[in-house]
Amino acid sequence: DVKVTQSSRYLVKRTGEKVFLECVQDMDHENMFWYRQDPGLGLRLIYFSYDVKMKEKGDIPEGYSVSREKKERFSLILESASTNQTSMYLCASNEGFQPQHFGDGTRLSIL
Amino acid sequence: QQQVKQSPQSLIVQKGGIPIINCAYENTAFDYFPWYQQFPGKGPALLIAIRPDVSEKKEGRFTISFNKSAKQFSLHIMDSQPGDSATYFCAASIWGTYKYIFGTGTRLKVLA
């Protein structure tokens, strides 16, 4: 069965901190994605990666960066966390153009 | 052009009712339309998907209707159950690209 695992379910950080969100998939998928989910706005794509060390900006990349050193792991980095980055963050993966499989999310609060 | 407009924002139905969730798009290049179901505390999970070469697709109690000329598609849940209470997202993509555009979600509550 497909498994996308996000390392933290809940995270509380302070303004200005550097924050790392980790995601691991066990399906050997080529593609991995980071979204943020906010009420009334749906899911918005932050970054995606179609291969190791390859990345592309999504719709809202400002304030974020990503790292993909290994095929199974995709990290989202908040360089200097701000309160407007308080949100639910969802990681997803897929193979080719097949449907995306999502993790259960990390609810991040920035104080 | 890149938006997918979803309505209603929330929906309450009695058990056995048929909730209908609607989505509309502008970009005629979209050719793959999945629906995702999300329970509280969980990530979205693929429910059913359709390509524009068919007007309807059924999987169990879930049906997608597709109107290519109107650029609209909708999800119908037959004989809805309290266990169907969840948030539903429509999405659209261009087959052969990586990017999905998601609707804003519909929170469905089915009363027992």
What whole-number distance in Å separates Cα of residue B83 and Cα of residue B80? 8
- Residue pair A39/A103 in contact (Cβ under 8 Å)? The answer is no
Inter-chain residue contact A97 with B43, CB threshold 8 Å: no
According to the model, what pLDDT value does residue A97 have? 76
Mean pLDDT of B52-74: 94
Question: pLDDT higher for B1 or A80?
Answer: A80
Chain B hits for A95, Cβ within 8 Å: none
Nearest to B104 among A31, A41, A97 (CB): A41
According to the model, what pLDDT value does residue B52 have? 86
pLDDT tens digits along B68-85: 999 999 999 999 999 999
Give me the percent of chain B exceeding a pLDDT of 90.
79
Chain A hits for B46, Cβ within 8 Å: 99-101
**Residue where the block lists tokens 């052969």:** B96
Q: Give the model's confidence band at B1: pLDDT under 50 very low, under 70 low, under 90 confident, else very high.
A: low
Question: A32 Cβ partners below 8 Å, 6+ apart?
Answer: A23, A25, A48, A49, A68, A74, A91, A92, A93
